[in-house]
Structure 1
Amino acid sequence: MSSYPTGGPPHTTLRQRLADLRGPAVPPRPLDARALAALAANPGCGRRALLDGAGVDKTALATALGSPASFGQSQFAIVRGNSFEAKVKADGGAELLRLVHSRLDPEAEPPGAADRVPDLTAAGPEGRAARTALALREATAAGTWTLLDHPMLALEVAGTPAYLEPDAVVVHPDGRWTVVEIKSFPMIDGAADAAKVGAAARQAAVYALALERTAAKLERAEVGHRVLLVCPKDFSNLPTAALVDIRRERAVTLRQLERLTRVEDLAAALPAGLTFDPARPAEELTAAVSAVSASYAPECLAACELAFHCRERARAAGEPTALGRSVRGELGGLTTVEAALAAACGTPPDAHDPHSPEVHDPDDPAAEALRRAARLRAEALEQAAARSPQHVPEPPACP
């Protein structure tokens, strides 16, 4: 546990508190849609909510803790994606608008040379978000095809603003708005990898929620529930597109984001002086990270920079979620791996042993299922040993 005194100065503002958590020389790391989609997938993790809300660089923090992250896009993939996006948006977005027209609005007048690609340049994310809102208002009122290239959208998450930048937003002549996601993975014979499409849909759902916040200010504006996914066709670099319905992803993401504890509540519960500054010693950072509750699951390995650190701690504590959320759900009241093993063996806990697993009800359905599974496994090992004893492992001894 941390040795910091509890509580903080009452006059400390939230902005200053979050800056102290990052470290005096560490700039805030902005939230993006990919991070928000991952955060929404695990809303019970206060650790990620606080670190993301404070703008902590989790990659640097994980490295300082000795558990660096090993995922992320390669430089080659980033360059390839940027090159493909530039091709899609070339000539004022003519090809992109043609794809939107043909897939989403074929009854409307086709886009022409007179349609607009407004300049969204402004100072800072707040300025760009305001400029984007103005451009959306003007485009909706004008009633013409309009392509917004990398607009800036604002969305409040756990009490803090997040500024998001979708690849593109298209305004239709009838005033509808459509989110466009441009990805560099191929679409072969009209279909792409399901896992990658799902990740793109969850990311687009975050953009749609942010766009809805802006659309609420305009009575005529409507955000479509289908997004346009643009990918290379087959094995070429030619763009093709498919519609992706994000109603389910949007509803799930909205519900999960609303469940997040507000960042100020998480920060207020921390000891004064606590910091996640990567320049601090590893022992101090370990104590600081441990002061914030986490909810690790194997899915975190593909979505969070601190996953390896959290996995190590979850395994050391015997948390069943380290084996998967489904396993944790099946175990019911058995909250540790040791308790589950004891229940499987029918071993009663020792009230005088501080290291004994927690008390479990022998009539608990989970305990009975574990005992039955243990019996079946023992029988299977006995039968296998009778056939080929040299290749059968010894069954583990019960505690």
Structure 2
Amino acid sequence: MNASLGSGPEPTPPHAQGQHLGERAVPVRQRLAELRGPTVAPHPLDARALAALAANPGCERRALLDGAGVNKAVLAQALGSPAPFGQSQFAFMRGNAFEARVKSDGGTELLRLLGVEDPAGALTPDVSAAGPEGRTARTALALREATAAKAWTLLDHPMLALEVAGTPVYLEPDAVVVHPDGHWTVVEIKSFPMLDGSADPAKVGAAARQAAVYVLALERVAAQVAGAEVGHRVLLVCPKDFSNLPTGSAVDVRKQLSVTRRQLGRMRRVEELAAALPPGTTFDPACGPEELTEAVSAVDAAYAPECLAACELAFHCREQARDAGAVESLGRSVRGELGGLTTVEAVLDAAQGRAGDPSDPTVAALRRAAGLRAEVLGPAGRS
């Protein structure tokens, strides 16, 4: 992992960083293009997927597929294990409509939520450019100019770059606001309601993890701008009660930021994972199910029931875990309690005294549990 995600040397300037990543990534991109298939365009990563990836850094399967730009939903369909995953079209349209409402009139309502007395006087620079690299460079320039100008500035859909497992990922937050004192605030706009000043904790948590990815990427830029500081309290904007009126809440993402930085730092580089695959491996959805199953099985996965809410390949990985009798299919907490017992069969053998060291605390606990079960259920409990 690049040292810029943890402690180490000073980050590379944004313009030089883009050049460095581009030059070094050429052979890697060619190899990843081969994995996707000769006619398959790369599927871009976003902050939502990156947050899910950081939540399960031990899953080399997801790291490789996401890094290679493989569309996991299409791959799951080709494998015969489609997952009803993702946002509905209705929710997508509702979210876009609410975001347009928040940003109307030059972002007047949004800036008022941040306490700006004269929203009409705020700067709204254009950050559009050709391609993600161009937009990233234009965003870095706009942030530098806004900080030097010491004026309220609203950047609508800026583009940020973050190196993940050796490959660049381009991220697009809803907005970033630059304060006159050089403070930068990430704005996350969601369409779920905020009732009586509070929202669904699960949805707020997901939004905080997503915003933490933006903060991490924004810190790479701020390190090169004199007087700039990225705030660890992001502005979450949601509809107020049952109306379409926007209301805001400051969410502290320091915990999520720390976890994301640490987890991303643990990931193996994508080129290492790709180099370990058998020659000719491809995830091209045009291939048959058997060939795709073999290709996917060549990369280790770290399945857990939580994957069902965060990964398009979860159904396929769950089936593989169950077929192998892996205890991971029962949950991470169960897996952690069982120590070196990695299969359900091994657990049952240890519990019934057919295998295992009696001095092992895990084996001893399983046998005590089996004895209590047999005592409560009688003869039926011994089967």
Please confirm whether the aligned pair reaches a TM-score higher than 0.5, indicating the same fold: yes
Q: Are residues 1:209 and 2:197 paired?
A: no
- For residue 95 of structure 1, report the CA deviation from its aligned partner: 0.5
What is residue 158 of structure 2 aligned with on the other side?
151
What is residue 252 of structure 2 aligned with on the other side?
245
What is residue 364 of structure 2 aligned with on the other side?
368
Q: SS where residue 217 of structure 1 aligns? A: coil
- Write the letter of the residue equivalent to 2:346: A
Q: SS where residue 71 of structure 1 aligns? A: coil
Q: Structure 1 CA distance, aligned partners of 2:95 and 2:151?
A: 29
What is residue 270 of structure 1 aligned with on the other side?
277
Q: Are residues 1:233 and 2:246 paired?
A: no
Q: Structure 2 CA distance, aligned partners of 1:305 and 1:124?
A: 27
Q: Are residues 1:34 and 2:48 paired?
A: yes
Q: Deviations over 1:85-110 (max 9, x none)?
A: 00000000000001012xxxxxxx62
- Write the letter of the residue equivalent to 2:255: R
Q: Structure 1 CA distance, aligned partners of 2:230 and 2:165?
A: 23
What is residue 106 of structure 1 aligned with on the other side?
none
After superposing on structure 2, the runs of 4+ consecutive aligned residues of structure 1 that deviate more than 4 Å are: none
Q: Structure 2 CA distance, aligned partners of 1:314 and 1:111?
A: 58
What is residue 376 of structure 2 aligned with on the other side?
380
What RMSD over aligned residues (CA atoms) do the two structures have, in Å? 1.2
- For residue 395 of structure 1, report the CA deviation from its aligned partner: 3.6
Assess if the C-alpha contact under 8 Å between 1:30 and 1:55 holds in 2.
yes
Q: Are residues 1:200 and 2:214 paired?
A: no
What is residue 112 of structure 2 aligned with on the other side?
98
Q: Deviations over 1:7-59 (max 9, x none)?
A: xxxxx921111000000111001110001000000000100000000000101
- Write the letter of the residue equivalent to 2:83: A
What is residue 12 of structure 2 aligned with on the other side?
none
Assess if the C-alpha contact under 8 Å between 1:111 and 1:145 holds in 2.
no
Assess if the C-alpha contact under 8 Å between 1:37 and 1:253 holds in 2.
yes
Distance verdict in 2 for CA 1:372–1:132, change over 3 Å: same
Assess if the C-alpha contact under 8 Å between 2:124 and 2:153 holds in 1.
yes
Q: Are residues 1:328 and 2:335 paired?
A: yes
Q: Structure 2 CA distance, aligned partners of 1:115 and 1:242?
A: 21
Q: Are residues 1:172 and 2:168 paired?
A: no
- For residue 361 of structure 1, report the CA deviation from its aligned partner: 1.4
Aligned residue among 118, 124, 140 for 2:125: 118
Q: SS where residue 113 of structure 1 aligns? A: helix
What is residue 182 of structure 1 aligned with on the other side?
189
Assess if the C-alpha contact under 8 Å between 1:147 and 1:168 holds in 2.
yes
Assess if the C-alpha contact under 8 Å between 1:229 and 1:242 holds in 2.
yes
**Where does 1:275-354 land on structure 2 (aligned, <5 Å)?**
275-348=282-355
- For residue 396 of structure 1, report the CA deviation from its aligned partner: 6.4
Number of residue pairs matched by the alignment: 358
- Structure 2: segments with no counterpart, 5+ residues: 1-25
Normalized per residue, the structure richer in helix is 2
Scaled by the length of structure 1, the TM-score of the pair is 0.88
Q: SS where residue 110 of structure 2 aligns? A: helix
Assess if the C-alpha contact under 8 Å between 2:173 and 2:214 holds in 1.
yes
Distance verdict in 2 for CA 1:396–1:180, change over 3 Å: farther
Q: Structure 1 CA distance, aligned partners of 2:120 and 2:234?
A: 24
Q: Are residues 1:21 and 2:35 paired?
A: yes
Q: Structure 2 CA distance, aligned partners of 1:213 and 1:317?
A: 42
Q: SS where residue 155 of structure 1 aligns? A: strand
What is residue 351 of structure 1 aligned with on the other side?
none
Assess if the C-alpha contact under 8 Å between 2:47 and 2:210 holds in 1.
yes
- Write the letter of the residue equivalent to 2:228: A
Aligned residue among 60, 64, 89 for 2:74: 60
- Write the letter of the residue equivalent to 1:376: L
Scaled by the length of structure 2, the TM-score of the pair is 0.92
Q: Structure 2 CA distance, aligned partners of 1:330 and 1:111?
A: 57
- For residue 378 of structure 1, report the CA deviation from its aligned partner: 2.0
Q: SS where residue 347 of structure 1 aligns? A: coil
Assess if the C-alpha contact under 8 Å between 1:44 and 1:260 holds in 2.
yes
- Write the letter of the residue equivalent to 1:249: Q
Q: Structure 1 CA distance, aligned partners of 2:372 and 2:318?
A: 30
Q: Deviations over 1:179-202 (max 9, x none)?
A: 000000000010000000000000
Distance verdict in 2 for CA 1:380–1:130, change over 3 Å: same
Assess if the C-alpha contact under 8 Å between 1:183 and 1:231 holds in 2.
yes
Assess if the C-alpha contact under 8 Å between 2:37 and 2:283 holds in 1.
yes
Distance verdict in 2 for CA 1:194–1:122, change over 3 Å: same
Q: Deviations over 1:183-238 (max 9, x none)?
A: 00000010000000000000000000000011111121100010000000111111
Q: Structure 1 CA distance, aligned partners of 2:280 and 2:109?
A: 54
Q: SS where residue 288 of structure 1 aligns? A: helix
What is residue 6 of structure 1 aligned with on the other side?
none
Assess if the C-alpha contact under 8 Å between 1:171 and 1:178 holds in 2.
yes
